[in-house]
Amino acid sequence: MAKSEDIIAHLENDLEMVKSRMRHLLRTDKEFLEEALIALTRNPPKIHVMVDHAERVINDFKQELIKLG
């Protein structure tokens, strides 16, 4: 019984770590995308900012997908 409880505890810990990482990623990338949208509304639009921020978000998502396996 103790072994299965240890396994469950480790899995719960792993799940909390993933959830924490995802919350951080989503918060950070949400801010990047908000800044990117603001850059597009400028006159003239700052396309380079939009491209830079979008690339960062895409790279963050790709890295997280790799971590998730």
Residues ≥6 apart with Cβ < 8 Å to 18: 68
In a domain, 6, yes or no: no
User: Domain span at residue 59?
Assistant: 24-69
Domain count, the chain: 1
pLDDT digits (tens, 9 = 90+) for 21-57: 999 999 999 999 999 999 999 999 999 999 999 999 9
In a domain, 65, yes or no: yes
pLDDT for residue 1 = 60
pTM across the whole model: 0.77
Q: Where are the alpha helices (DSSP H) in the chain?
A: 2-41, 47-68
Q: Name which residue leads in pLDDT, 51 or 3.
A: 51
